[in-house]
Amino acid sequence: MRTRRERARAPQLYALSVAEARELDLASIRDAGGTPEPVHSVVDSALPGSGLPIRVYRPSERTDLPVLVYFFGGGWTLGTIDTSDAVCRRLSNLVGCAVVAVGYRLAPEHKFPTAVHDCFDAVLWAAAEFGTAIAVGGDSAGGNLAAAVTLLARDEGVPLAAQVLVYPNTDYGAETDFDDPFLFNKTSVAWYWSHYLAKPEDGFHELASPLRASSLAGLPPALVITAEFDPLRDQAELYAKRLSESGVDTTLSRYDGMIHGFFCMAGDLEAGAHAQEEAAAFLKARLNA
C-alpha cells in the first residue's frame, strides 16, 4: 500500500483545501473499500428535530434487531455517511444487526463539541426507536466520537452493550515520531485537530481526549483495533490499557504491517476484511448476550 501511494504521488490531504480533501478522501475510500454488499434494506432518513442525515441498514425484516450506531472517520473534517457505506453493510450482515450511520456535522464549519453531541443524539434516537441492545463504533475520528459517546452515555444512564474503537484518536496532547510522507502521519493528525478545535485548550477536554477522562470505569466492553504504522497507535493502545485497568472488559488487537485506514480497505487489503470480521464477532457476542 505504501509503495502504491509512493508511485502514485497522490497529494497529502492536508496539502489541499478542505473541499478538495473531502472529494479525494471519499473517492479513495470507495476505491479501496471493495464492492458494497447487498443488505435486506437501506433507508436514508433524518434525526427528528435536528434533521441530521442518518442511514439505517437492516440485514433482515426482523423488527427486534440489536443496533450498532456507527460514526465514520475523517478527522472530524472529512466524510459523509457514504464514507462508511461498505463497512456498515458488511457489519450489518456479519453481526445480524441494524446499523445506523450518522451524518454528524463537520469541522471547520462546526467545531468541537458539536460532533460529539450529534453522535450522542443519534444514540438516544436509536435507543428510543429500536428499544434493543445498542453498541457504538467508529474508525479514527469516528472511534474518538464513539469513545466520547460512551462517557456521555455512562453519565446519562444510557446502557450500551459494547464499543468498537478502530485506531481512535484519544489524546490531543499525544506525541508521535511517525512522519512518513506518503502515509497518514503526525502532520495529518495536527491538520485535523486544527480544524476541529476552536481553541487548543479544548483539546484537553475529556470529550475531545477520552484518554484524559478522570475515570473510565463503568464503560461498555471494548474492542480496540490498531495498526502498526499509524501515528495514533500508541495513544489508542494506552486507551485500551486504561480501560482494562478501570475494570472494563477490553480486547486490544494490533494489526502488524498495517497503516491507518486499513479497516476501510477491505477491497484492497485482506487484513481490512479480517479486522471487520473480528469487529463483527465481538459485536455479535455482546449484542446477542
Catalytic residue numbers read 140, 230, 260
What is the pairing mode between strands 98-102 and 53-58? antiparallel
Kindly state the DSSP code that residue 104 receives in the 8-state scheme. P
* Angle value at C-alpha 45, between 41 and 47, nearest 5 degrees: 135
Helix (H) or strand (E) holding 257: strand 250-259
CA distance 69 to 127: 10
CA distance 56 to 41: 8
Bridge partner residues of 53 (DSSP): 46
Q: Supply φ then ψ for residue 63, to 5 degrees.
A: -100, -5
The C-alpha cell 472529512 sits at 78
Task: Describe the chain by its helix, strand, coil percentages, rounded to 5.
Answer: 40, 20, 40
